[in-house]
Amino acid sequence: MPDLSIVVPTYRGAESLAELVDRLGTVMAARGIDHEVIVVNDASPDDTWPRLQALAADHPELVAVDLLANRGQAVATLAGLAYARGSLVATMDDDLQQPPEELPVLLEALAENPRWDAAVGTWPRDHGLFRAVGSWTHALVDRLAHGTPLSFRHTSFRMMRRPLVDALLAHETRTPVLGPLITQLSSETHNVVVDHHPRKHGSSTITLRESISRVLTNLIHGTTLPLRMLSRLGLLVAFAALVVALVFLVRWIVGTDAPPGWTSSFLATLFFGGMILFGIGLLGEYTSVVIKEVRRPPKWNVRTVLGRRDDGEHPG
């Protein structure tokens, strides 16, 4: 069994994969660490899979997994974890912004802290208004929805011990939100400061639409916070309506005529009608998640695996 398994979900990452695998091999060889690299192709439309086929022929430590359909980073990462055999398992992106040379920093953090279940890399916030707002929004959602401390930051650059990996794989959800799930499963998950490099190839695949989708997924798939907020809004509005009713009752008792209320009635009807439709749509989203969980479809479907050195079955 390898000492360390490194899981890399990839989507449109063909240009960086060869350098990534080579640098991982150099770093691990320098430290005498027996490792395997599990790269999961999340149905990338470019030539990612042909690149992985060529790399698998030259790198015996590489396990290449080709998914039938795009399932997103969280599911692709879990698929890679299912093939990981190391007592320690790392996850990282494919774009080289998380340098392979920083993996020893996470290794040393776990070695120095035997009770830690995971070390999660963190770095100074990204520059630029768009990225800053996105990072702040994700942090706020994590705090409100999952109780994540303000001092902790979720990233995909992490090192985990085997018991935590097994706990993740045993989780039956079909709609995983991986970062919060890790901190829910273990209270001994901690940030470690690492370097972060500029992107070397292409541009980020995370668009504004994708960022918004991730925030909404984090809210709806990982927590009932929107429903709780909607119920509290309903209570607040009901209280406000009671106060307004008391005000008009007092005005009627003292003989003050009530002003014409067509405008206020129209606006109130429009507002509450919109809130009702919003609530129905929100319940529909949760119903969709419940249906998916109850039907228990496969978490992922694999077309091909190259370089797997064992014959065991893996969950899907």
Q: What is the DSSP string of 15-43?
A: HHHHHHHHHHHHHHHHHT--EEEEEEE--
> 283 or 66: whose pLDDT is higher?
66
CA dihedral angle for residue 130, residue 132, residue 138, residue 140, rounded to 10 degrees: -130
243-260 residue pLDDT tens:
776 777 777 777 766 566
* Helix, coil or strand: residue 173: coil
133-148 residue pLDDT tens:
666 666 677 776 667 7
76-120 residue pLDDT tens:
999 999 999 999 999 999 999 999 999 999 999 999 999 999 999
* Stretch (H or E) spanning 190: strand 189-193
11-42 residue pLDDT tens:
999 999 999 999 999 999 999 999 999 999 99
Band of residue 316 on the pLDDT scale cut at 50, 70, 90: low
> 57 or 291: whose pLDDT is higher?
57
Res. 265: pLDDT tops 90:
no
According to DSSP, residue 68 is labeled S
Residue 164 has a pLDDT of 97
Band of residue 161 on the pLDDT scale cut at 50, 70, 90: very high
167-201 residue pLDDT tens:
999 988 877 888 888 998 999 999 999 999 887 76
Percent of the chain with pLDDT over 90: 49
Residue 312 has a pLDDT of 41
The rounded distance, in Å, linking the Cα atoms of 38 and 108 is 22
Residue 180 has a pLDDT of 87
* Stretch (H or E) spanning 244: helix 225-253
Mean pLDDT for the chain overall: 82
Residue 221 has a pLDDT of 61
Residue 311 has a pLDDT of 42
| Long-range CB pairs of 200-207, under 8 A, 24+ apart, other chains included | 200/16, 200/19, 200/95, 200/96, 201/15, 201/16, 201/95, 201/96, 202/12, 202/15, 202/95, 204/95, 205/11, 205/12
Res. 286: pLDDT tops 50:
yes
304-313 residue pLDDT tens:
999 864 444 4
Res. 299: pLDDT tops 80:
yes
How many CB atoms sit inside 10 A of residue 135's CB?
14
The rounded distance, in Å, linking the Cα atoms of 24 and 84 is 16
> 315 or 160: whose pLDDT is higher?
160
